Chains A and B, each alone.
Chain A
Amino acid sequence: MRKTKKTWVDNFPDLTASLVACVIGLLVGFLVLVVTNPENSIKGFKALLTGAVSGGFTDFGNVIVYAGIYILCGLSVGFAGKTGVFNIGLSGQFIIGGVAALYVGIMWTWLPPGIHCLVAVIAGLLAGLGWSSTIGFLRAFFNISEIVVGILLNYIGVYLANMIILDKFYDSYANRSQAVQSSALIPTLGMEKIFPGTGADITFFVAILLAIVIHVILNKTTFGYEIRTCGFNKDAGIYSGINAKKNVILSMAIAGALPGLAGAMFYLSSSHNYIQIVDSAPAIPMRGIVVSLVAMGSPIGIILSAIFIAYITVSGLDMQLYGYVPEIVDVVTSVIIYCTAFVILIKKAISTILRKSHDLNEG
C-alpha cells in the first residue's frame, strides 16, 4: 500500500473547510464594501477585522457577553443537528426563557438572594425546553417540518412574552418590562469593574462549561451514542433497536433549554435587566446558526467559532462610530452559512488539489 504523505487537510479536514468558508465570507464582505464604499473599503475592512481589539476593555467585555450567548445558541443548533433536526427556533426559545426568568426575577421577591437567581435561571431553562419540545414532538409524531414550526413559534414566542410583560410587570414610561430585582441578578465576580457597562458576567464561563458538558454527553454517554447513531445512519439505528422518536424529542428538549438559559441569563444581568416591548424576535440568538455550522456541530469548535463571530459582531458595532454600516457583519455571516452548505465539496476539492500538487512534486 503506497503511503501518501498526510497533508494538513487529511488531518484536519473539517477545520480547513470551516476556515475556507470563513475566509470566503470575509472576502465577500470586503467585496460588498468595495462596491458600495470604494474609497473607504480598505479602512472599513480593517476596522471589521481589528475593531474589537482597539476598543479596549469595553469591547473585550462585549465580546465575552456576545460569545456567551453565541456559544449557548450554537450548542443548541449543533446538538439538534446531531440528531438530524434543524433548530431554527432560537429566538422564540431565547425570549420565552427570558420572560420566564424575568417573571421569577420580578415577582418572586420572597426568595433569598442566591436562590432567587438560581430559580430564575432554571425557570428560563425550563421554559425554553418546553418551547422546543413542541417542535420535537410535532416533528417526531407528525413529521412536520421543524423549520416551519420553529419560525412560527418564534413569532408566537415574542407575542406571548410581550403579552405576559404587559399583563404582569409593565413599565409604561419606557415601554418595557420592569427591571429585575437585584437579588436575582447573575453574579458578575467583579467583572463589572473591569468591563463597565457591558453586562459581562459569568454567562460566558457557564457557556463554556456547558459546551464541555454537551461534548461529554455526545461522546461519552449511551444517550449521545444513540443520538449520533441515528443522526449518521437511521438504518443502523433501526437495526440496533434504537427508538428514534424518543431521541428526537429528547434532543430537541435539550436544544431548547440552551437558548432558554441564554435568554434567562442575558436579561438577568444588570446592564439589560428588562425586556423592551418590540414586535420582532431578537436577532442575536439566530447567530447561533452560523456559529454551529462553521464548527460543524462540534461543541469545542463552537466555543472557538462563537468567539470569532462575537469578535466581528463587536467590530461591526464599532464601525458605526466611523460611519460604516454594521450590517456588513450580517452579510459576512450569512455568506459563511452559504459556504458551509457545500463544505464537503470544499473538503474534497482541497484534498484533490493538494494531492495533485503532491503527486506532481513527487512525480
Chain B
Amino acid sequence: MDIVYFIVQQLMFFMVPLLVVALAGMFSERSGVFNIALDGTMIVGAFCGTLFLNLTQDSWSGQYQLLVALLIAGISGILFMLLHAFASVTLNASQIISGIALTFIAPALAIYLARVIFGVQRIFFTNAFLIRKIPILGDIPVIGKLFFTNTYLHIWIGYLILLVSYVVLYKTKFGLRIRACGENPYAADSVGIDVKKMRYYGVLISGFLAGMGGLIFIVPTTIQFSGSVASYGFLAIAVLVFGQWKPFKILIASFLFALAKTIASSYTSIPALVALGWSPYIYKMLPYVFTIVMLVLTSKNPQAPKAAGKPYISGGE
C-alpha cells in the first residue's frame, strides 16, 4: 500500500508542472498565438527561481522563500515571453521561428550564466520545502496519505491556478474577449476589441505560468538545475492538444501522461513489471510513445482555436 501512496505522490510531482505549463499554452493559443517557446520559458523561470533560492539559501528558508522564488520565476517568464509577443503580435513575424529561437536561447543563456557564476553548469539549492504532512487533512485515512503527505506548496498552487484559469477563461469579460480573439479576431475587432492588446495579454500570461511551471518542475524532482526541463514544454503542448484546449480536459490529459511517466520511473518498485524483464529504456520511451498515440487519437476533431498561428492584420480579411 505504501507503494501506491508513493506512486500517487510522485504522480503529482510530474503532473502539476505539466498542468500549469499546458494552461500557459492554452492562454497563448486561445488568444491566437502559437507558442513553442514554453520550454524555453520554463528554463528561464527555473533558472531565475533556483538562482534566487541558491543565493538566499543561507539566510532564508521555508515556504515564504519558495513563494517568492515562484513569483520571481513567473516574472522572469513574462519578461522572456515579451520577445515572443513582440515578434509574433507586433511584427507579425513567423511565430514558429520565434518560438524555436527562444527554445534555444533559454538553455544557452542559462548554461552560460550558470557556468559564469558558479563555474559549473548546475545551480544547487537546498530543498527544504517538502511538507511532510498537512495538519488535519493529512490525518484523513487513505486520502490523507495519498494527497496530503509528502507534498509541496506549489502542487496546491498548481491546482489553484487550474481553478482560477477556468474561472477567468469562461466566467469573465476578459476571458470571453481573449477567446474571441483566438477564434475570429475580425469579429472581435468589429465590436471594438483591441486584438493586439488581448494577444499580448495571452502571451504574457503564458509567460508567467510557464516560468513558474519551470520552477515547479525542478523543485520536487531534483536539487539542482542544469539547464534543461526534459522538454516538458513540448510535452505540455501535446497535453494541450490532447486536452482540447480546455482546462479540465487538460487536467485529465496531464494526469494520464504523468501516470505513464510515473510508472516509467518507478517500475522497479512494482514486482509485476520487474518480472517482465524489459529493458529500462522501454519504460523511458513509454510516456513519449503514449503521447504520440494520444495525438493521433485526438486529431480527428481538433478544437484548436481557429485563428491560432495566423498573423492578424487589422482592417482586412
> A interface vs B, CB < 8 Å?
32, 36-37, 86, 88, 138, 142-145, 147-149, 151-156, 159-160, 162-163, 166-167, 279-280, 286, 289-290, 293, 325, 327-328, 330-331, 333-335, 337-338, 340-342, 344-345
A117 and B307 CA atoms in complex are apart in Å by: 50
> B interface vs A, CB < 8 Å?
36, 83, 87, 91, 93-94, 96-98, 100-102, 104-105, 107-109, 111-113, 115-116, 228, 231, 234-235, 237-238, 241, 279, 281-282, 284-285, 288-289, 291-292, 295-296, 299, 302
**Nearest CB on B from A339, distance (A):** 8
**Nearest CB on A from B118, distance (A):** 11
CB neighbours (8 Å) of B299 from chain A are: 142-144
**Nearest CB on A from B290, distance (A):** 10
**Nearest CB on A from B276, distance (A):** 14
Query: Who on chain A is nearest to B90 by CB?
Result: A342
Please tell me which one of the listed residues A138, A145, A330, A344 contacts residue B104 in the complex, with CB atoms under 8 A apart. Answer: A330
A167 and B112 CA atoms in complex are apart in Å by: 36
A138 touches B96 (CB 8 A): no
> Main secondary structure on chain A at its contact with chain B?
helix
B105 touches A331 (CB 8 A): yes
Known A-B contacts A155-B288, A156-B285; the reply to A148 vs B91 at CB < 8 A is no
A334 and B39 CA atoms in complex are apart in Å by: 14
B100 touches A289 (CB 8 A): yes
B87 touches A152 (CB 8 A): no
**Nearest CB on A from B277, distance (A):** 12
B87 touches A338 (CB 8 A): yes
CB neighbours (8 Å) of B302 from chain A are: 143
**Nearest CB on B from A318, distance (A):** 16
Query: Who on chain A is nearest to B299 by CB?
Result: A142
Please tell me which one of the listed residues B100, B281, B288 contacts residue A162 in the complex, with CB atoms under 8 A apart. Answer: B281
B107 touches A330 (CB 8 A): yes
A86 and B111 CA atoms in complex are apart in Å by: 26
Interface centre among B91, B100, B113 (most CB of A within 10 A): B100
Known A-B contacts A142-B299, A156-B285, A289-B100; the reply to A338 vs B105 at CB < 8 A is yes
Q: A142-B299, A330-B104 are in contact. List 20 more A-B contacts (CB 8 A).
A: A86-B96, A144-B295, A144-B299, A145-B237, A148-B234, A151-B231, A152-B234, A152-B292, A162-B281, A163-B285, A279-B284, A293-B97, A327-B108, A330-B107, A331-B105, A334-B101, A334-B104, A341-B101, A342-B87, A342-B94
A308 and B54 CA atoms in complex are apart in Å by: 38
Interface centre among A142, A145, A340, A341 (most CB of B within 10 A): A341
B281 touches A166 (CB 8 A): yes
**Nearest CB on A from B289, distance (A):** 6
CB neighbours (8 Å) of B288 from chain A are: 152-153, 155-156, 159
B112 touches A152 (CB 8 A): no
Query: Who on chain A is nearest to B96 by CB?
Result: A86
Interface centre among A148, A162, A280, A331 (most CB of B within 10 A): A148
CB neighbours (8 Å) of B100 from chain A are: 86, 88, 147, 289, 337
Known A-B contacts A138-B296, A160-B281, A325-B115; the reply to A334 vs B238 at CB < 8 A is no
A337 touches B296 (CB 8 A): no
CB neighbours (8 Å) of A334 from chain B are: 101-102, 104-105, 108
A333 and B302 CA atoms in complex are apart in Å by: 35
Interface centre among A160, A166, A325, A328 (most CB of B within 10 A): A325
CB neighbours (8 Å) of A162 from chain B are: 281
**Nearest CB on A from B18, distance (A):** 14
CB neighbours (8 Å) of A155 from chain B are: 231, 284-285, 288
A167 touches B116 (CB 8 A): no
Please tell me which one of the listed residues A88, A148, A290, A331 contacts residue B112 in the complex, with CB atoms under 8 A apart. Answer: A331
Query: Who on chain A is nearest to B102 by CB?
Result: A338
A293 and B93 CA atoms in complex are apart in Å by: 14
Please tell me which one of the listed residues A142, A330, A338 contacts residue B296 in the complex, with CB atoms under 8 A apart. Answer: A142
Query: Who on chain B is nearest to A329 by CB?
Result: B108
CB neighbours (8 Å) of A152 from chain B are: 234-235, 238, 288, 291-292
B228 touches A280 (CB 8 A): yes
B98 touches A338 (CB 8 A): yes
CB neighbours (8 Å) of A149 from chain B are: 292, 295
Please tell me which one of the listed residues B87, B91, B111, B112 contacts residue A32 in the complex, with CB atoms under 8 A apart. Answer: B112
B116 touches A325 (CB 8 A): yes
Known A-B contacts A159-B281, A163-B282, A330-B111; the reply to A342 vs B93 at CB < 8 A is yes
A346 and B109 CA atoms in complex are apart in Å by: 25
A341 touches B108 (CB 8 A): no
**Nearest CB on B from A167, distance (A):** 7
Please tell me which one of the listed residues B94, B115, B235 contacts residue A341 in the complex, with CB atoms under 8 A apart. Answer: B94
Interchain Cβ contacts under 8 Å between A and B, 29 examples: A86-B100, A88-B100, A138-B292, A142-B296, A144-B299, A145-B237, A148-B295, A149-B292, A154-B231, A155-B231, A155-B284, A155-B288, A156-B285, A156-B289, A159-B285, A163-B282, A327-B112, A328-B112, A330-B107, A330-B111, A331-B105, A333-B104, A333-B108, A335-B105, A338-B83, A338-B97, A340-B97, A342-B94, A344-B93
**Nearest CB on B from A39, distance (A):** 13
**Nearest CB on A from B79, distance (A):** 15
Query: Who on chain A is nearest to B284 by CB?
Result: A159
A333 and B36 CA atoms in complex are apart in Å by: 18
B279 touches A167 (CB 8 A): yes
A341 and B116 CA atoms in complex are apart in Å by: 29
A290 and B104 CA atoms in complex are apart in Å by: 10
B279 touches A163 (CB 8 A): yes
**Nearest CB on A from B202, distance (A):** 19
B111 touches A341 (CB 8 A): no
Known A-B contacts A142-B296, A152-B238; the reply to A337 vs B104 at CB < 8 A is yes
